[in-house]
Structure 1
Amino acid sequence: MNAGLGTAVDPPHPPEHPHGNLDRAAGATMARLAGGVSAHAFLEAWSDWAQHLARAPGRQLELAEHAQRNMLKVAALAANPANAPPFAPKPYDHRFDHAGWQTWPFQLWQQGFLAMQDWWDQATEPMRGLRPEDAERTRFLARQTLDVLSPSNAPLINPEIITETVKTGGRNLTEGAAHFAHDAMQTLTGQRDPAPEGYRIGVDLACTPGQVVYRNDLMELIQYTPQTPQVHARPILIVPAWIMKYYILDLSPENSMVRYLVGQGFTVFMISWTNPTAAQRDLSLEDYRKRGVMAALDAVTAIVPDTPVQAVGYCLGGTILAIAAATMARDGDTRLASVTLMAAQVDFAEAGELLLFLDESQVAFLEDMMWEQGYLDRPQMARAFAAIRAEDLIWTRAVQRYFLGREDVPTDIGVWLSDTTRMPALMHSQYLRGLFLENRLTAGRFAVEGRVIALKDLSVPLFVIGTETDHIAPWRSVYKTQLFTDGDLTFVLTKGGHNSGILSEPGHKGRHYRMSHRPARALYVGPDAWLAEAKAKSGSWWPDWAGWLAAQGGGLMDAPSVGAADKGLAPICPAPGTYVLQP
């Protein structure tokens, strides 16, 4: 057990064997070849599903009848193409958006594929005795296989590719081949293109003025320059996720959360995490709490003394902030005035589709790979996230880029998404095991410095945000923060996904959100019952949040200076600092 992080009683681990390193080296080689995904869990799931289906004649009959109905629907469309198509793509599936798919014979091929997809969705529904996670993994496997076979991937039967090839005289295919060669070379060499013109870090993105006022080997702390003569007395400390660069929260000037907060009269500090190398393989989750969150808090309270801090955590940053806040509550540290958790989970029992990739075999697979290279690399994480929405994130892009010859259109969030970071081996193993796999935090088995912490110890006001279509931190999982805390809590459910729902600046078209307040010690209301009662409000949730922060803000004061030279916290360099530029 790590000295600072563990459980009250750790589960037994396999004994060390004299040739264990040979096994780990072999596992690391297999992991690299498989893109970091263990086949064991999926083969086990497939076997579990097949065996249960084999001994369920009623279920077999039901699926045979469903297949017959689907075939008859497609046959009816073939007999009369004027009929309305019986199957529709999923909302996030854009492979069949081109109008040509609604014409004969392309519509028939599309509908045959969607009929098969519909059947597999039905076939992988839970059965008696079948583990739910095995049903989900089997569905995932079937979906990945079908995606490869989709008619949209075949140039000779994709009307959009045919039209573009005739229009350009085949230039789209030659340009697509050049794109493929370029991407293949980048994959082999691990190199990345520089940020496109208009999307440079520190110039176009992450450009809110400020200074780095503290630095250690794990993070830089940025203090942003005040933009109002007076500010709210209690400063804001933002803890971003370390799986990506911090500037998702300071993206373009028009959608920068940092710029918005500073403009509303808040003193804002931001942690910018280092991009770990193999030499930092032994960084632990406790290091991220102690030398990340707590070191930043020490610096903030030195620069703005005699007042508590409003802490904000996003994604994994919210999880480590919750751990730090619960530890502070346990130890009587009163330096927090409020806590905001944005798309951040504290309970991982319903952690969404990422659980498809996590079991003991998968974690051991990743640990072997990290044991050899010292970290989990960027492409290995990106592939897992992309596979969850392969229809759009892999196949639609592939057709656009390799068959239609179209360049990726640069966007601020697209540049940020490609600017991923590495995960140090020890920390990522602790995170996967202690939180995702064993769910220790809400099970009462998460210990910091040898003593268990509890989220129920939190007494400061909480503001919790979930996003409607989040497949990384599903909103019902985020909502469960209400189940494990007793204090005053405001919950917001906003339109969008894990990133787009958070970037919901005022004026963003088509936005809505739901908001509720739970007083301290109120009875728990489940997420579905809450959703049935919560009314949607149009617009951005940011102004309501800013109002909530102002209510906890401690009144107004003259804007403080940036840094505190007399306390060893003089400005080091301008924002965005140096760590965010690390390759």
Structure 2
Amino acid sequence: MADNRQHPMLQYIIENPEAFAQNLSKTAESAAKALAAYLEPREKGEVKQDSNDELTGIIKTLGQVGEYWISDPQRSVEAQSRLMTGYIDLWNSSLKRMMGETAAPAAEAAPRDKRFADPDWNDNQFFDFIKQIYLITSKWAEDLVVEAEGLDEHTRHKAEFYVTQISNALSPSNFLLTNPELLRLTVESNGENLVKGMQHLAEDIKAGHGDVKIRMTDTSKFALGENLGLTPGKVISENDVCQVIQYDPATPDVLKRPLLIVPPWINKFYILDLTPEKSYIKWAVDQGHTVFVISWVNPDERQAQKSFEHYMKEGILNTLDVIKRATRQQEVNAIGYCVGGTLLAVTLAYMAAKGDERIKTATFFTTQVDFTNAGDLRVFVDEEQISMLEKKMAEQGYLDGSKMSAAFNMLRSNDLIWSYVVNNYLKGKDPFPFDLLYWNSDSTRMPAANHSFYLRNCYLENNLAKGEMVIDGEKLDLGKVTIPIYNLATREDHIAPPLSVFVGSKCFGGPVDYVLSGSGHIAGVVNPPSRNKYQFWTGGKPEGELDSWIKSAEEHPGSWWPHWDAWIRQQDATTAKARKPGAYRMKILGDAPGSYVANRI
């Protein structure tokens, strides 16, 4: 150990060449198995050859940036000079360090950048040099996009996104020979990490039927109905689109108005019913709500033509009928989460047009109705990309869940892709068991008609906010939705940015309480009071600019859940005797969490 401190590079020298050679041989064997797992489904015709359309689109977008700089010789020289200046600064500072002088780094990683947390990224001059070359080059590439003139907003957004993805992929932290932690681990274990890592890779390719399905957690540690989705309840209705679950009461008296939860169909509903201590559904039941949840089907070709209208009618509107039969109550409090919230907003506008007043309050979790500021997901939405996607969906009737999962993961690729590549395949470690990541990997398919309507009418044309969306012959106007609304956004949301939710609040015609929670799209919502984590902000009406609203808002520690419950009771605190599933001769079809949610891809 003392020698290693005096000679830092000694820790990267292999001490047992024979064991190392044997492990390299085992690694090669596993690599062959990984290659076979990749090729086998393609040779059998089970997986179609990957299309080059996406790659062509990326090249085309980045080519527009390059064209701006290359078209003018002076700009081209300026761009090259800027990069060379960064390299020269790095060379000079490195020479000073070699001579024992103190020198400021030419580039520094962000303080919260976990990729370069190992001390040798700074202490070892070789790795520090590699790191700084990477940081200088990636910053230079990002600046080229930002400063390129003549690009429309969407093209610039796509170019920024693609450059970020390329930069994240090429980070020296992702490669064995340029990552000190990986190199040290490989030497210390004589390459055993590579053996295990390649075994993991082969298993993940096989699990992905020819594609890499990166494991984010130890899935063997979780099972629905055993340690997830445990809140007692019954399935009381089902159709081609969803099952309806009614949960057993936990209090002798309950709020008179039942609570309907509309989750997203992009993932499964049990994000709101994870372990009992994290379960929003269990907490709501414990507070005296009669909770009904829609559990969406994991669609296949049979649901190909199920559109937004079908999901509205066979999902929300049908469930309102079910709730009335199950409770003899017509007035309902409703919650919509993410795209489930968008569907709920569409339904509210439709009900307003029809004079249907059954939903008396609406709560939205990280929901967008105005998609002007929809964030990085807009990168994937333009006429060219949607048409290409529609063509693929037409072949099988749905969009494979892995495609949506990959798109979401790319929004935070360092955290949700590359960190797992390094951990699983280079360090050879098993991922930590985490219920949230188990749910995240349990993706669902998207029906072709539904997904196409959603992308075109919301992301591409923003018809709901414009008052131009048509459902079942009705032109929808959110301004006619005058019921009280609790609109929850989360501060670090990459999917439904807080600004987007804030602007969307102005579309409704009634009172809107905008509430901002700490953390992101999931953790900011699934934040039980018992953990006392994060915080939330409340303020006046969602008017003016978001920054001004935040400055004047009141910050509260902990979970927003009790604040929401108090808000619900302010609207109507009337109570009734608890209702059990199966009352009023309702047929019970099975136990919660039901069979639809158990259908995995």
Q: TM-score, normalised by structure 2?
A: 0.86
1:235-254 alignment runs, 5 A limit: 235-254=258-277
SS in structure 2 at match of 1:341:
strand
Separation in 2, partners of 1:191, 1:298: 43
For residue 128 of structure 2, the aligned residue among 79, 82, 107 is: 107
User: 2:398·2:445 contact (CA, 8 Å) conserved in 1?
Assistant: yes
Separation in 2, partners of 1:467, 1:56: 44
- What are the superposed Cα offsets for residues 516-572 of structure 1, whole Å, 9 maximum, x if unpaired? 242xxxx83222221232243221111111111122244122112223343xx2222
Separation in 1, partners of 2:92, 2:568: 59
Give the drift of 1:34: 4.3
Answering whether residue 226 of structure 2 is matched by residue 203 of structure 1, we say yes
What residue in structure 2 maps to residue 228 of structure 1?
A: 251
Answering whether residue 63 of structure 2 is matched by residue 47 of structure 1, we say yes
Separation in 2, partners of 1:191, 1:121: 28
Using a 3 Å threshold, how does the CA distance of structure 1 residues 36 and 339 change in structure 2: closer, same or farther?
Answer: farther
Separation in 2, partners of 1:288, 1:123: 44
What residue in structure 2 maps to residue 338 of structure 1?
A: 361
User: 2:161·2:376 contact (CA, 8 Å) conserved in 1?
Assistant: no
The one-letter code matched in structure 1 to 2:172 is P
Using a 3 Å threshold, how does the CA distance of structure 1 residues 581 and 570 change in structure 2: closer, same or farther?
Answer: same
- What are the superposed Cα offsets for residues 389-424 of structure 1, whole Å, 9 maximum, x if unpaired? 222222221111111110111210111011111111
Separation in 1, partners of 2:569, 2:52: 45
SS in structure 1 at match of 2:182:
helix
Separation in 2, partners of 1:534, 1:59: 46
Answering whether residue 154 of structure 2 is matched by residue 137 of structure 1, we say no
Separation in 1, partners of 2:169, 2:69: 25
Separation in 2, partners of 1:217, 1:355: 30
The one-letter code matched in structure 2 to 1:53 is W
SS in structure 2 at match of 1:349:
coil
- What are the superposed Cα offsets for residues 199-232 of structure 1, whole Å, 9 maximum, x if unpaired? 2101211110111111112111111111111111
Larger deviation, residues 269-278 vs 485-494 = 485-494
Separation in 2, partners of 1:36, 1:246: 34
Using a 3 Å threshold, how does the CA distance of structure 1 residues 474 and 510 change in structure 2: closer, same or farther?
Answer: same
User: 1:230·1:265 contact (CA, 8 Å) conserved in 2?
Assistant: yes
The one-letter code matched in structure 2 to 1:51 is E
- What are the superposed Cα offsets for residues 173-222 of structure 1, whole Å, 9 maximum, x if unpaired? 11111111111222235798997444210121111011111111211111
What residue in structure 1 maps to residue 177 of structure 2?
A: 156
For residue 449 of structure 2, the aligned residue among 414, 423, 426 is: 426
Give the drift of 1:509: 5.1
Separation in 1, partners of 2:321, 2:449: 25
- What are the superposed Cα offsets for residues 95-138 of structure 1, whole Å, 9 maximum, x if unpaired? 22222322222112111111111112211115442112212222
Give the drift of 1:235: 1.0
Give the drift of 1:66: 4.3
User: 1:77·1:108 contact (CA, 8 Å) conserved in 2?
Assistant: no
Separation in 1, partners of 2:267, 2:475: 29
Separation in 2, partners of 1:563, 1:91: 56
Answering whether residue 479 of structure 2 is matched by residue 456 of structure 1, we say yes
Answering whether residue 276 of structure 2 is matched by residue 259 of structure 1, we say no
Separation in 1, partners of 2:235, 2:218: 23
For residue 287 of structure 1, the aligned residue among 310, 330, 334 is: 310
For residue 558 of structure 2, the aligned residue among 539, 544, 561 is: 539
1:378-389 alignment runs, 5 A limit: 378-389=401-412
Using a 3 Å threshold, how does the CA distance of structure 1 residues 305 and 477 change in structure 2: closer, same or farther?
Answer: same
What residue in structure 1 maps to residue 16 of structure 2?
A: none
What residue in structure 2 maps to residue 24 of structure 1?
A: none
Give the drift of 1:304: 2.3
The one-letter code matched in structure 1 to 2:129 is L
Separation in 2, partners of 1:487, 1:62: 54
- What are the superposed Cα offsets for residues 402-450 of structure 1, whole Å, 9 maximum, x if unpaired? 1111011121011101111111111111111121111111112101221
User: 1:94·1:391 contact (CA, 8 Å) conserved in 2?
Assistant: no
Q: Relative contact order, CA 8 A, sep 6+: which one is greater?
A: 1
For residue 142 of structure 2, the aligned residue among 84, 98, 121 is: 121
SS in structure 1 at match of 2:120:
helix
Give the drift of 1:475: 1.3
The one-letter code matched in structure 1 to 2:544 is V
The one-letter code matched in structure 2 to 1:324 is T
1:447-526 alignment runs, 5 A limit: 447-508=470-531, 510-518=533-541, 524-526=543-545
Answering whether residue 570 of structure 2 is matched by residue 557 of structure 1, we say no
Separation in 1, partners of 2:328, 2:557: 38
Aligned residues: 548
The one-letter code matched in structure 1 to 2:565 is A
What residue in structure 1 maps to residue 597 of structure 2?
A: 580
Larger deviation, residues 252-261 vs 378-387 = 378-387
- Can you give the 5+ residue segments of structure 1 that lack an aligned partner in the other structure? 1-28
The one-letter code matched in structure 1 to 2:536 is Y
User: 2:221·2:433 contact (CA, 8 Å) conserved in 1?
Assistant: no
SS in structure 2 at match of 1:241:
coil
User: 1:40·1:361 contact (CA, 8 Å) conserved in 2?
Assistant: no
What residue in structure 1 maps to residue 202 of structure 2?
A: 181
Larger deviation, residues 58-67 vs 45-54 = 58-67
Using a 3 Å threshold, how does the CA distance of structure 1 residues 394 and 191 change in structure 2: closer, same or farther?
Answer: closer
What residue in structure 1 maps to residue 587 of structure 2?
A: 570
Answering whether residue 168 of structure 2 is matched by residue 147 of structure 1, we say yes
User: 1:38·1:365 contact (CA, 8 Å) conserved in 2?
Assistant: no
Give the drift of 1:508: 3.0
Larger deviation, residues 155-164 vs 383-392 = 383-392
Give the drift of 1:64: 5.1
The one-letter code matched in structure 2 to 1:100 is D
SS in structure 2 at match of 1:276:
coil
- What are the superposed Cα offsets for residues 9-49 of structure 1, whole Å, 9 maximum, x if unpaired? xxxxxxxxxxxxxxxxxxxx9x9644796345433422332
What residue in structure 2 maps to residue 19 of structure 1?
A: none
Separation in 2, partners of 1:165, 1:191: 23
For residue 354 of structure 1, the aligned residue among 358, 377, 387 is: 377
Larger deviation, residues 414-423 vs 486-495 = 486-495
Give the drift of 1:93: 4.5
What residue in structure 1 maps to residue 321 of structure 2?
A: 298
Give the drift of 1:74: 2.3
Separation in 1, partners of 2:411, 2:112: 11
User: 2:218·2:434 contact (CA, 8 Å) conserved in 1?
Assistant: no
Larger deviation, residues 126-135 vs 212-221 = 126-135
User: 2:465·2:504 contact (CA, 8 Å) conserved in 1?
Assistant: no
Separation in 2, partners of 1:122, 1:510: 37
Using a 3 Å threshold, how does the CA distance of structure 1 residues 191 and 550 change in structure 2: closer, same or farther?
Answer: farther
Give the drift of 1:56: 6.2
Structure number with greater Rg is: 2
Give the drift of 1:280: 1.8
1:308-347 alignment runs, 5 A limit: 308-347=331-370
User: 2:205·2:211 contact (CA, 8 Å) conserved in 1?
Assistant: no
- Can you give the 5+ residue segments of structure 2 that lack an aligned partner in the other structure? 1-44
Answering whether residue 296 of structure 2 is matched by residue 277 of structure 1, we say no
The one-letter code matched in structure 2 to 1:98 is D
User: 2:486·2:514 contact (CA, 8 Å) conserved in 1?
Assistant: yes
% identity of equivalent residues: 35
1:407-446 alignment runs, 5 A limit: 407-446=430-469
What residue in structure 1 maps to residue 115 of structure 2?
A: 95
Structure number having the greater helix percentage: 2
Q: TM-score, normalised by structure 1?
A: 0.89
User: 1:53·1:60 contact (CA, 8 Å) conserved in 2?
Assistant: yes
User: 1:371·1:425 contact (CA, 8 Å) conserved in 2?
Assistant: yes
Using a 3 Å threshold, how does the CA distance of structure 1 residues 513 and 73 change in structure 2: closer, same or farther?
Answer: farther
User: 2:201·2:212 contact (CA, 8 Å) conserved in 1?
Assistant: no
